[in-house]
Structure 1
Amino acid sequence: MRKIIITAAITGGAHTPSMSPYLPVTPEEIADQAIEAVKAGAAIVHLHARNPEDGRPTGDPEIFRQFVSRIKSETDAIVNVSTGGGGPGMPIDERAAAGVALKPEMCSLNMGSINLNLSEMASKERNWKYGWEVEHLNATKDLVFRNTFSDIEWILQTIGGSGTRFEFECYDVSHLYTLKYFLDKGLVKPPLFIQTIFGLRGAMGAHIEDVLHQKRTADRLFGSDYHWSVLGAGKEQLPLATLAAIMGGNVRVGLEDSLYIGRGELAVSNAAQVRKIRKIIEELGFGVATPDEAREMLALKGASNTAF
């Protein structure tokens, strides 16, 4: 039976606390939701940190440490620390500080710069809890989420040097070619874990032809040297995850990528989304990979070799 890796992206940095009462903010909430998601079937938990006082994204390693240590002690999950860190406007060394300090099994790595526009989320009428939220969202209309070749090489050498492997986040076709460049340079080695991302403003669209084009391109560039995963943003989350499973890929869900579990229905937890995609995967006749099975597939160094 083919096994599918489920990644749960627990909180992220795009959504703000006023958008959902279920979005985890404090280290305790992030740990609770990550542990529940693992119990529901997630092999990987993709993690950002937030200031516990107001929910603002942060790259502070000490805040990360408060929840990654608990996740490690209470589950066998693969802990994946974001190098998107405290937001796209933050310098790369601050964004990636937790990955440097914690030496996790896996970090995310954005494979190119994009015009990531989140400003539409600020236009919806809601009871905003914190003054920073609307300002932060509107500012993205004029923001480039910078991930230069120099930035990428710095992360590969600085964090990858400790044996950490990467979730290569590819928001466009050009990002696959950038990854191929670093593969040819010998700075990354197979097996690659490629997360193709669809449906964000400024990134690839979410049409089935966009998905097929990314998959065909990755197949041509990397052959059997990679494991493919799909992230659909917002309402595209479950449809594209289902498509990815059918096409032989892995899936990513979580409140970082979508706050909903159905039309107009907020997801009450990350685990709720994991349970839903797991049910779909199993009804399609596939299995769900355990953390140890995912470790073997992705050639990870093991939880005992981290710095937390």
Structure 2
Amino acid sequence: MQIGNRSGRLVLIEGDRALDVERASDGAFGPDPQDAYERWEAFRQWAEGQDASAGEPFDVAELGAPVPRPRQIMAIGLNYADHAAESGFDLPENPVVFAKFASSLTGARADVAVTGDQVDWEVELVAVIGTGGRNIPEAQAWDHVAGLTVGQDISDREVQFWGNPPQFSLGKSQEGFAPVGPAVVTLDEVDAAADRSDLALSCTVTHPDGTSEELQSGRTSSLIFTVPDLIARLSKIVELYPGDLIFTGTPDGVGIGRDPQVFLQAGDVLRTQIEGLGEIEQTFVGR
């Protein structure tokens, strides 16, 4: 099943059709996309019996962030060995954790302002918590995941490295810097298409002159700290809540790690794909 946010309303998605949950459930579930995660088990059981193909046609541009108001957005740095190397760091012994603030969320299609001269890209698998808790055992961690989605950890490197120590969270929380979508895909649907622990992920840019290039390409099997490991480690310290987002890290190929460095410019179109989860697209515009 795919859970989406169509113009601010909770929907189930199949192909190019979206089933409005409030109407299909006769009001048993409300229109707010966030409510699906607050009542996760009841919602999941109801939704599994629905035929989303009976819904209305929709345009991907109508899709907002599928989890619009998470209580926590945690992001993991240096979680691929090649990215740690290009960043000049040793492999971390523990997850490197920072926050992306909820005001930076946007959906599958969005215009994003180029806020400076060093705006960078980072394709990321995002795990969405369904059942929260503390001290979640790694062996049971997947049971706490509602689904997976595509994310971009867009970063203003000038703000990120304002001082010593750097401002990771601020540099990654400008408006539109946390695009996610197009939908939250439940694990059963992911498993039907691919191996949830070994998903191909990539991003490409198309420049205003029409030329395109692949920026990043990797597989989630290369994660240093896997999704279950992250959930177990994080939940030892903080309580995880339904609807929380965990950005799991990016492979190598970011702009700041190149020689010479390369960054996004106004007019660039960034497309981000993850196997079994779909694609998101951002168009970068001037300030």
Q: TM-score range by the shorter chain?
A: under 0.3
TM-score w.r.t. length of structure 2: 0.27
Structure with the bigger percentage of strand: 2
Relative to the length of structure 1, the TM-score reads 0.25
More helix by share: 1
